Structure 1
Amino acid sequence: MIALVAGVAILGGCSLPRGAAVQSEVLSEADAEYPSFQVIDVTRANMPLIASWPRTGPEMDRNWLGTSTGANQSVIQTGDLVNIRIWDSQENSLLTNPSEKSTEMPNVEVGANGAIFLPYVDEVFIRGLTPNSARQRIQSKLEAIVPTAQVQLSLTQGRSNSVEMVGGVSSPGSYAMPSRNYKILGLIADAGGISSSMKNPLVRLMRQGATYEISANTLLGSGSYNTLLLPGDTVVVEEDDRTFTGMGASSRQTVVNFPKEEVNALEALSLMGGLYDVRADPKGVMVLREYSPRQLRSDGSAPNMQQVVFTFDLTSADGLFAARKFQIYPDDVVLATESPLAGLQTLLSIVNSGVTTTQRSVAAANAF
């Protein structure tokens, strides 16, 4: 017993190794006259106010475009190729040979001005027309010189009538729009679908200098998000790169990727492997967050300091319900502090190990 007391006294003055800080150490500055951070004890009562505060860190642009319906036919654009075949039954036709009843003009490109050139007719403007409307216009122009002419027209779409599927699918590339009713889920399907190896894939749509973003799960979950594509659109599928940092008395101390669009505090702890049951303090779970100066307010509608520590007491139902409502934002730090008793447990373990070793040594000496 004397050895035990002496050991405790000696080791009590030493700094024992620990895996995490104690809550009182982290918050010690909060009681200073001019603290550099704000401390918020999160409860069900104040969660609605906290939830209304500005978001932090990189986040998805939620201004996604809803679905709509386009025409189920193609429209000719600059750079498209049209194949024209002209039929004429006249014996002395200007356009066909005596031995043939038709002549073909393959791969006629629609120029920058939206027109194609036809012999004896000059330029015919067809950009913005459907293939059938373009055929009718060409035939109408030919009637002045070949009254009996009949026109066939087929379309090969160019870059101005296509969309780009850049990555995250089995077959990225440029895809011609089969009609004006071509939607983003149709493009993803044509490209082979989203790679199954991607974690929480995001779908980005780039259009005329603007970028729109949505999680693949959300996109696939509702037809209202199946955006109608426009020529020149670029679609990218990539993994969500948003992360938070898990630290302290948890099973995993690491940078954690968001597995879905939103993660609450309880889910964050689960992604960290849960609290370390021997050392963690369930009354001392914290989320450290940094706001920008422009987000600060003094009226309570936002934090009044850039650096904020949110604390949770997970030993009460109030704290657990509040943690389930609290959203983790990108670049947050989730800290599981160590129980104040963990140090004493370590100390007693060391002393007990020393006493056991001494007893074994004495027993061995007495044996001789």
Structure 2
Amino acid sequence: MISTGDQVDIVIWDSQENSLLTSEAEKSTLMSGVEVGPDGAIFVPYVNKVYIRGLTPAAARTRVQEQLIQIAPSAQVQLKLTQGRTNSVELVGGVAAPGAYQMPSRNYKVLSLIADGGGIQPSLRNPRVRLIRGGATYEISASQLLESGARNTLLRPGDTVIVEQDDHSFTALGASGKEDLIYFPKDDLAAMEAISLMGGLTDFRADPKGVLVLREYRVKHLRSDGSAPRMQQVVFSFDLTSADGLFAAKKFLINPGDTVLATESPITSTQTVFGLVGTVFGLTRQASTLSNL
């Protein structure tokens, strides 16, 4: 499709004697680099404006020729399209071939652009796709984009599409297999899945009755009417020894920035105290033995 800013090269052939369009020596006239104006028209001598925006090159050639036939019945037209910079979109980030791409038609969509760029790099973690248009930004995960055709948006000239990996993470602490910053492998992550990513609860150390999720809300999200959290800092507790606690942990979603804390069992603390007492008695007995030598 022809858009504003595109350029067309037009060759007009006319074998008629005393033609207004050609000379006796040359039976053709070249109009090179004629730009489609903001109103969607090009200027053709003796015809004035010809509106070709939204047409295919073949349809535009036919329209120009129909206009010329009124003054030169034997005129024939050739038309070649060169798409302008204003009819392109940018593809940035985690694809094989980022860069500027010309829009081949009005039906050019986000997934088509990504495919033309060689597809999403397989090394990206939970890749996300961002569309920047006129100062507004729209974001979706690549998996959701692939699953829903309705979200595969039509592109407009000047759009920028960015493909990048998801940097959302939570912090794992306490009596678990891993204490680290853990990135989300997918969009929605339940508390039970987070515990699995942490390596589970440590045997003999962790207290399955005390798995905590520490969350800090932004001030703008707080509400006093009960429709949203009232306090900025909130602690959620899960008892994994009960059925209710297990099912709740499977449904409760972790937010980016949360801290998941596996608390230690009270028995562990008791064992630590006994261990210290045992060490003291051991040192005392050893000291007594040495004094008797």
Q: TM-score range by the shorter chain?
A: 0.7 to 0.9
* 2:201 aligned residue: 275
Whether 1:316 aligns to 2:242 is yes
Superposed counterparts of 1:119-138, under 5 Å: 119-138=45-64
Superposed counterparts of 1:242-261, under 5 Å: 242-261=168-187
Whether 1:211 aligns to 2:134 is no
Q: 1:358 to 1:165 in 2, by over 3 A?
A: same
Superposed counterparts of 1:38-187, under 5 Å: 74=1, 76-96=2-22, 98=24, 101-187=27-113
Q: How far did residue 280 of structure 1 move?
A: 1.2
* 2:216 aligned residue: 290
* 1:262 aligned residue: 188
* 1:8 aligned residue: none
In structure 2, how many angstroms separate the alpha carbons of the residues matched to 1:193 and 1:359?
A: 72
What's the CA shift string for 1:194-244, capped at 9, x where partnerless?
A: 111110110111223322111111112233322222222211111112222
Q: Choose 335-344 or 91-100, whichever is displaced more.
A: 91-100
In structure 1, how many angstroms separate the alpha carbons of the residues matched to 2:23 and 2:289?
A: 119
* 2:147 aligned residue: 221
Q: 1:103 to 1:183 in 2, by over 3 A?
A: same
Q: How far did residue 165 of structure 1 move?
A: 0.8
Q: Which has the higher contact order (CA 8 A, sep 6+)?
A: 1
What's the CA shift string for 1:336-355, capped at 9, x where partnerless?
A: 11112212223444555677
In structure 2, how many angstroms separate the alpha carbons of the residues matched to 1:110 and 1:296?
A: 52
In structure 2, how many angstroms separate the alpha carbons of the residues matched to 1:98 and 1:217?
A: 64
Whether 1:302 aligns to 2:243 is no
In structure 1, how many angstroms separate the alpha carbons of the residues matched to 2:228 and 2:50?
A: 62
Q: How far did residue 92 of structure 1 move?
A: 4.1
In structure 1, how many angstroms separate the alpha carbons of the residues matched to 2:29 and 2:283?
A: 104
3-state SS, counterpart of residue 318 of structure 1: helix
In structure 2, how many angstroms separate the alpha carbons of the residues matched to 1:102 and 1:353?
A: 106
Q: Please report the TM-score for the alignment, with normalisation by the length of structure 1.
A: 0.70
Q: Which has the higher strand share?
A: 2
In structure 2, how many angstroms separate the alpha carbons of the residues matched to 1:184 and 1:112?
A: 25
In structure 2, how many angstroms separate the alpha carbons of the residues matched to 1:292 and 1:143?
A: 69
In structure 1, how many angstroms separate the alpha carbons of the residues matched to 2:93 and 2:223?
A: 42
Whether 1:238 aligns to 2:153 is no
In structure 2, how many angstroms separate the alpha carbons of the residues matched to 1:144 and 1:335?
A: 82
Superposed counterparts of 1:14-53, under 5 Å: none
What's the CA shift string for 1:30-81, capped at 9, x where partnerless?
A: xxxxxxxxxxxxxxxxxxxxxxxxxxxxxxxxxxxxxxxxxxxx1x222211
Q: How far did residue 184 of structure 1 move?
A: 1.2
In the comparison of the two structures, how many residue pairs are matched? Answer: 293
What's the CA shift string for 1:102-133, capped at 9, x where partnerless?
A: 43333322234543333344443433444344
In structure 1, how many angstroms separate the alpha carbons of the residues matched to 2:230 and 2:135?
A: 35
Q: Choose 228-237 or 279-288, whichever is displaced more.
A: 228-237
3-state SS, counterpart of residue 151 of structure 1: strand
3-state SS, counterpart of residue 83 of structure 1: strand
| Paired letter, 1:172 | P
Q: How far did residue 303 of structure 1 move?
A: 3.2
Q: How far did residue 360 of structure 1 move?
A: 9.1
| Paired letter, 1:258 | F
Q: Please report the TM-score for the alignment, with normalisation by the length of structure 2.
A: 0.87
| Paired letter, 2:203 | D
Q: How far did residue 143 of structure 1 move?
A: 2.3
In structure 1, how many angstroms separate the alpha carbons of the residues matched to 2:11 and 2:100?
A: 28
5+ unaligned residues in a row in structure 2: which ranges? none
3-state SS, counterpart of residue 29 of structure 2: strand
What's the CA shift string for 1:231-275, capped at 9, x where partnerless?
A: 222111111122222222222222222111100101111222222
| Paired letter, 1:229 | L
